[in-house]
């Protein structure tokens, strides 16, 4: 059966939402480091490995999925013909130790991986906070759902309820990662201005911090750093999918030069500076960094 990219995107979103409660079931026992490092050189928690295992199993089995890439996998897992699915299986997992938000970030590309963000047919995230929500963006816009858990003989499954469309409001909040002592002079000068105009909202997980900007308007940045000009965040799993969501909601994105969706990733684990938010703020940013 030839599953077109949009159908495949919907099927992948359904599977990720369905799997969300089982990912969360692994949090309590998954808050210790397993001693391994992922391909980006970050220590992994049991919960990271649990989330990756569940998502890899359910996504690679789907009709219409041709490739699977994950922050926790070295290369692209080939599963035939179809869309390329890139996931950060548990973004912000270190927040589990302090019981702060974490989540799953998802990008579905109608192109072989690694692909620039222009190849995205849709993107989304599941946010584990006081409640679990899912944000889904495709050609029709951005919709947020509450994810409820149904527990039956098959175990726990997530179901989407209570949908509402999201568009980016006027800017009110900012969240900047990396630490001021590591910022370039250009970004530090930009931050000096923004910190007097907007309210600080930074929780150490991209999925939680971008969700704040999506709801309240403003800017999220994990900038180029003096010692790490490419910054920390990954293009395929974090930068491009979140840029797709924010741009679909009416905002803008940048890697310091131009839209994150135009960035050609240098490999599956390519890193990029990430700036996401209202277009007016992103334009000012690009003049100053």
Return binding residues for substrate.
91-94, 202, 232
Give the C-alpha separation, 135 to 157, whole Å. 17
Closest to ligand P6P by CB, 11 vs 45, is 45
The answer to whether 211 contacts ligand P6P (rule: CB under 6 A) is no
The answer to whether 60 contacts ligand P6P (rule: CB under 6 A) is no
The answer to whether 203 contacts ligand P6P (rule: CB under 6 A) is no
The answer to whether 91 contacts ligand P6P (rule: CB under 6 A) is yes
Q: Rounded to the nearest whole angstrom, what is the least distance from the CB of residue 101 to ligand P6P in the complex? A: 10
Segment contacting ligand P6P (CB under 6 A): 15-23, 62-70, 88-96, 246-254? 88-96
Query: Binding residue for ligand P6P (CB under 6 A) from 222, 237, 244, 275?
Result: 222
- Binding site, annotated residues: 71, 88, 90-94, 202, 232, 238
Q: Are strands 199-200 and 173-176 parallel, antiparallel or unpaired?
A: parallel
Contacts of 237 (CB under 8 A, 6+ apart): 69, 70, 71, 86, 87, 88, 91, 105, 107
The answer to whether 82 contacts ligand P6P (rule: CB under 6 A) is no
In the bound complex, which residue of the shown chain has the CB atom lying closest to ligand P6P?
206
* Partner residues linked to 174 by β-bridges: 200, 219
Residue 120 CA: distances (Å) to CA of 73, 215, 234:
20, 22, 15
Write down the residue that tokens 């990954």 correspond to.
234
Number of residues that bind ligand P6P (CB under 6 A): 10
Q: Which of 226, 288, 284, 286 is nearest to 260 (CA)?
A: 286
Q: Rounded to the nearest whole angstrom, what is the least distance from the CB of residue 276 to ligand P6P in the complex? A: 11
Three-state DSSP at 193 gives helix
Judged by the rule CB under 6 A, the positions of this chain that interact with ligand P6P are: 91-92, 94, 177-178, 204-206, 222, 232
């Amino acid at each position: 059966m030839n599953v077109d990219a949009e159908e495949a995107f919907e099927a992948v979103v359904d599977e990720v939402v369905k799997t969300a409660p089982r990912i969360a079931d692994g949090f309590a026992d998954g808050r210790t480091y397993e001693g391994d490092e992922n391909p980006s050189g970050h220590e992994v928690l049991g919960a990271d490995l649990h989330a990756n295992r569940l998502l890899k199993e359910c996504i690679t089995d789907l009709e219409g999925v041709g490739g699977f890439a994950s922050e926790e996998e070295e290369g692209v897992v080939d599963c035939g013909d179809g869309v390329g699915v890139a996931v950060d299986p548990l973004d912000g997992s270190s927040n589990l130790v302090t019981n702060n938000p974490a989540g799953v970030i998802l990008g579905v590309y109608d192109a072989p991986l690694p692909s620039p963000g222009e190849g995205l047919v849709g993107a989304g995230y599941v946010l584990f906070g006081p409640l679990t929500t899912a944000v889904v963006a495709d050609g029709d816009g951005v919709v947020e759902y509450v994810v409820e858990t149904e527990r039956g003989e098959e175990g726990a499954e997530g179901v989407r309820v209570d949908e509402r469309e999201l568009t980016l409001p006027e800017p009110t909040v900012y969240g900047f990662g990396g630490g001021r002592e590591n910022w370039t002079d250009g970004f530090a000068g930009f931050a000096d201005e923004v910190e007097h105009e907007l309210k600080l909202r930074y929780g150490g997980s991209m999925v939680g911090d971008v969700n704040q900007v999506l709801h309240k308007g403003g800017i999220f940045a994990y900038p180029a750093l003096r010692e790490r000009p490419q910054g920390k965040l990954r293009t395929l799993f974090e930068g491009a999918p979140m840029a797709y969501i924010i741009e679909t909601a009416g905002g803008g994105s940048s890697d310091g030069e131009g839209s994150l969706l135009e960035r050609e990733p240098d490999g599956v684990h390519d890193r990029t500076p990430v700036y996401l938010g209202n277009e007016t703020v992103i334009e000012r940013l690009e003049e100053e960094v």
